[in-house]
């Protein structure tokens, strides 16, 4: 690697106007310290913000080489990351949240590991004290279920904060899937990877954009996009239940032969009927999850729509260009 490798930061932003100035200050300090070794560029994905996020970025980052892609509406962070991967053209990219929960101070360390030959360097939240108890527990539960059900293992507590070499970015661009669970896609791609532990602090300002409902949906997306086990397991459960009911039928016949027919048994019949009814609905739901995904994939709609973009290169004399 030569000394002036281009580092592109991919930053998804959604209604973050109040956070942008603080982010820009911290990043400028970090970049000043690392100066000379790299050329830093910013790629902001504005995920349909309705506040002054774009204006704020254009002001705060006017002295940096930056691009802003503005979506036509809110498509979600996964789509924003997908756009970032599609458009980043540095020798290496670093994906970061804008709210400083991913500490910029870690960037030089990430880059050192990259220089040492790692193609993926990801932050591992070894202390999630800033998250609520429910969020911590549900996250751990999700990682264990996911890694049990899927052949692709994702490292627990690794977020989206990561460095990707150009070769990984190019590999990820080849994946056409619509229901994107980026963490699973990184793991699928493989490459020489290294985890760097860090403490995830609280958001500096503003509120999280992820409600528990959105997190639940992300978890469901992840599981059903990367594992066929939920689909397969029902064949075994069905066979077991049928086997047991055959045994039960046999025992009823034998009992009737020796002791005569009982009229009782209403309760047990009801139990069997409702239990099996519930099981069937569950299986239908699971089929639905996969069929829904097939439906989304066959439609082949793009993951996002870019409505506007801005490019600024302070080193060239040209005014910031804007394309619609």
Binding residues for Mg ion, rule: CB under 5 A, are 97, 99, 101, 203
Helices 166-173 & 77-87 angle (0-180, nearest 10)? 120
**Number of neighbours of residue 83 by Cβ within 10 angstroms:** 23
For Mg ion, the closer CB: 38 or 161:
161
Which three-class secondary structure state does DSSP give residue 305?
A: coil
201 binds, among Mg ion, ligand UDP, none (CB under 5 to 8 A by kind): none
Looking at 13, 43, 54, 88, which residue binds ligand UDP (CB under 6 A)?
A: 13
Looking at 52, 74, 130, 252, which residue binds ligand UDP (CB under 6 A)?
A: 74
Q: Could you tell me which residues come within 8 angstroms of residue 321 by beta carbon, excluding any fewer than 6 positions away?
A: 310, 311, 312
16 binds ligand UDP (CB under 6 A): yes
List the structure tokens of 139: 């996250």
Please, what is the minimum distance in Å from the beta carbon of residue 46 to ligand UDP? 8
Please, what is the minimum distance in Å from the beta carbon of residue 75 to ligand UDP? 7
72 binds ligand UDP (CB under 6 A): no
Task: Give the whole-angstrom CA distance, residue 257 versus residue 56.
Answer: 84
80 binds ligand UDP (CB under 6 A): yes
107 binds, among ligand UDP, Mg ion, none (CB under 5 to 8 A by kind): none
For Mg ion, the closer CB: 15 or 225:
15
For the purposes of burial, counting CB atoms within 10 Å of the CB of 289, is it exposed (0-12), middle (13-18) or buried (19 or more)? Answer: middle
208 binds ligand UDP (CB under 6 A): yes
For the purposes of burial, counting CB atoms within 10 Å of the CB of 294, is it exposed (0-12), middle (13-18) or buried (19 or more)? Answer: exposed
Please, what is the minimum distance in Å from the beta carbon of residue 102 to Mg ion? 8
Q: Report the DSSP beta bridge partners of residue 9.
A: 42, 94
Task: Give the whole-angstrom CA distance, residue 297 versus residue 226.
Answer: 14
For ligand UDP, the closer CB: 65 or 200:
200
Looking at 38, 41, 47, 111, which residue binds ligand UDP (CB under 6 A)?
A: 47
209 binds ligand UDP (CB under 6 A): yes
Chain Cα centroid distance, residue 237: 31
Looking at 58, 77, 113, 312, which residue binds ligand UDP (CB under 6 A)?
A: 77
226 binds ligand UDP (CB under 6 A): no
> Hunting for tokens 């439609």 — which residue is that?
299
Please, what is the minimum distance in Å from the beta carbon of residue 13 to ligand UDP? 5
> Hunting for tokens 């973050």 — which residue is that?
16
Order of strands across the sheet that contains 321-323: 193-199, 120-127, 158-165, 92-95, 5-13, 38-46, 65-71, 306-312, 321-323
295 binds ligand UDP (CB under 6 A): no
Q: Tell me which residues touch ligand UDP (CB under 6 A).
A: 12-14, 16, 47, 74, 76-77, 80, 97-99, 101, 203, 208-210
């Amino acid at each position: 690697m030569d000394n002036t490798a281009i580092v592109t930061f991919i930053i998804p932003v959604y209604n973050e106007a109040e956070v942008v100035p603080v982010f820009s200050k911290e990043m400028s300090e970090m970049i000043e310290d690392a100066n000379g070794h790299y050329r830093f560029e910013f790629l902001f994905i504005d995920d349909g913000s309705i506040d002054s996020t774009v204006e704020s970025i254009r002001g705060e980052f006017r002295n940096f080489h930056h691009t802003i892609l503005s979506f036509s509406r809110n498509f979600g962070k996964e789509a924003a990351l997908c756009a970032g991967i599609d458009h980043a053209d540095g020798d290496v990219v670093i994906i970061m949240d804008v709210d400083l929960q991913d500490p910029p101070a870690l960037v030089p360390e990430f880059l050192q590991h990259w220089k040492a030959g790692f193609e993926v360097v990801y932050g591992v939240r070894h202390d999630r004290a800033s998250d609520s108890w429910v969020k911590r527990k549900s996250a751990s539960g999700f990682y264990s279920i996911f890694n049990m059900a899927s052949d692709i293992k994702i490292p627990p507590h690794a977020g989206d904060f990561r460095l990707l070499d150009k070769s990984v970015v190019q590999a990820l661009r080849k994946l056409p899937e619509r229901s994107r669970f980026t963490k699973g896609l990184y793991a699928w791609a493989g490459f020489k990877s290294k985890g760097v532990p860090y403490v995830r602090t609280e958001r500096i300002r503003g509120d999280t954009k992820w409600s528990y409902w959105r997190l639940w949906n992300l978890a469901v997306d992840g599981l059903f996009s990367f594992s066929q086990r939920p689909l397969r397991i029902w064949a075994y459960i069905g066979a077991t239940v049928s086997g047991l009911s055959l045994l039960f039928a046999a025992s009823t016949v034998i009992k009737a032969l020796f002791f005569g027919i009982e009229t009782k048994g209403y309760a047990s019949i009801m139990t069997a009927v409702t239990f099996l009814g519930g099981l069937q609905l569950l299986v239908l739901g699971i089929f639905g999850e996969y069929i829904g995904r097939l439906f989304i994939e066959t439609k082949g709609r793009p993951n996002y729509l870019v409505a506007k973009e801005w490019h600024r290169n302070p080193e060239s004399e040209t005014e910031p260009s804007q394309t619609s």
